[in-house]
């Protein structure tokens, strides 16, 4: 960890968010009490960039708790779908934003809040729309369902200047194939935080999954 960049100071770029580890965990939390021990378990396994999705009523409180109590982590928000979502996440202390798709409004809200955005794309037109607004580090979502490895290889021609974080259907078993592609910087996935481990508070399992993920070659 000591060779990694200092995350405490200043704002981040989307590329820094992607480069920090091979995997960005996609986290769904329904209990605020889980947020801090979970974040600590992931950090202990070498994963610091944490995407807490806005899919539960507790998500913003979880982001707030991690931002306040786990300074070794960088908490971001996922599933941001509107400018209002982005503003709420910024208020909660999120340091980066991930969206399932791209809209001009979400892009503008992230710029206004000085937060890096990884916008989701699944087609060439969506890549062009995000690029038009200055976003060149993109989430490919849903990666497996929308064309997987073959799609990323096809995009490397016309979009050679774009870097991707494929998410959706990525697992410990297939992550390495994605990470081996030159236009992939990291992958996203929910497998680091299994629902049953969360429910049981099995933090050592989470740390072990994070450790394996952080050791993936890329
Ligand atoms: C996401 O929200 O980005 C994906 O749903 C995560 O996909 P996975 O559960 O297949 O990893």
pLDDT of 84: 98
User: What is the position in ligand 1's atom list of the atom closest to the CA of 53?
Assistant: 2
Do residues 13 and 205 lie in contact, with contact meaning Cβ atoms separated by under 8 Å?
no
pLDDT tens-place string over residues 71-119: 999 999 999 999 999 999 999 999 999 999 999 999 999 999 999 999 9
| 132 catalytic per annotation | no
Tell me what the mean pLDDT of segment 195-213 comes to.
97
Catalytic choice (51, 64, 137, 163): 51
- Please write the tens of the pLDDT for every residue from 40-54: 999 999 999 999 999
Domain ranges of the chain: 3-214
Give me the pLDDT at residue 196, please.
Answer: 97
**Whether pTM exceeds 0.85:** yes
Q: Are 96 and 49 in contact (CB under 8 A)?
A: yes
Q: Which of 52, 96, 98, 86 is nearest to 190 (CA)?
A: 52
What separation in Å is there between the alpha carbon of 184 and the centre of ligand 1?
Answer: 17
- Kind plus residue range of the DSSP H or E element containing 83: helix 83-92
CB distance 193 to ligand 1 below 6 Å: no
CATH architecture label of 3-214? Alpha-Beta Barrel (3.20)
């Amino acid at each position: 960890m000591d060779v990694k960049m200092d995350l405490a100071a200043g704002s981040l770029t989307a590329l820094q968010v992607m480069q920090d580890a091979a995997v960005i965990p996609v986290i769904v939390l329904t209990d605020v009490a889980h947020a801090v021990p979970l974040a600590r378990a992931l950090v202990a396994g070498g994963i610091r960039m944490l995407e807490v999705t806005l899919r539960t009523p507790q998500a913003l409180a979880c982001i707030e708790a991690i931002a306040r109590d786990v300074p070794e982590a960088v908490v971001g928000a996922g599933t941001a779908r509107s400018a209002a979502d982005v503003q709420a996440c910024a208020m909660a202390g999120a340091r980066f934003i991930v969206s399932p798709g791209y809209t001009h409004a979400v892009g503008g809200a992230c710029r206004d809040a000085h937060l890096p955005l990884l916008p989701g794309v699944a087609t060439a037109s969506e890549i062009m729309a995000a690029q038009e607004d200055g976003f060149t580090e993109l989430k490919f979502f849903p990666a497996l369902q929308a064309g997987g490895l073959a799609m990323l290889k096809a995009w490397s021609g016309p979009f050679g200047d774009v870097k991707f974080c494929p998410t959706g259907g990525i697992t410990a078993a297939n992550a390495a194939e994605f990470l081996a592609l030159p236009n992939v910087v990291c992958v996203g996935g929910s497998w680091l935080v299994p629902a049953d481990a969360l429910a049981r508070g099995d933090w050592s399992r989470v740390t072990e999954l994070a450790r394996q993920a952080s050791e993936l070659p890329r």
